[in-house]
Amino acid sequence: MEMLIVIALIAIIGTLTITQIGKMFGGAEEDVAQQFVNNALKAPLLKYRIDCGSYPTSADGGLVALLNQPSSKQGKWKGPYIEKLPDDPWGNPYQYKYPGSRNPDGYDLWSTGPDPQSEDDNIGNW
C-alpha cells in the first residue's frame, strides 16, 4: 500500500513538473487543448450516440446535451455523460458542431486557441 502511495506521488510530481517545463518553453496549452479535442470527449460522445442515435446537435444544446437531457431525447438519454464541461487552457469554452464542417461524417470539436478572433490558431479534431 505504501509503495502505491509513493508511485502515485511520483506520478503527480512528474506531471506537474512536465506541465511547468512545458509552460516555461511554451506550447503546453496547445498540447493540453489538442489532447482534449482528440481524446477527452470521444468516449462520452460515442456513448451519447449509442444511446440517442446520433451525436448531439445544436438543437440538442451541443456539448451541454452531455450534461442535461435534451427534450427530444426522452427515453433514450442515459446521462449525464460527463461531470462538467471544462474550458480550454485560455479560459474559453470548447466549440462543437455536428455534423461537422471538417468532419462531415462526425463532429468538429475545437479550441479557439490563444486568440479567439483568429482561426489560424484554432486547435481541432481535424
Residues counted in the chain: 126
Residue percentage of the chain with pLDDT more than 90: 65
What count of other Cβ atoms lies within 10 Å of the Cβ of residue 93? 13
Res 83 pLDDT > 90: yes
Q: How far apart are CA 67 and CA 82, in angstroms?
A: 6
pLDDT of residue 8: 61
Average pLDDT, the chain: 86
Q: How far apart are CA 117 and CA 126, in angstroms?
A: 19
**Structural domains in the chain?**
30-124 (3.30.700.10)
DSSP state of 56: -
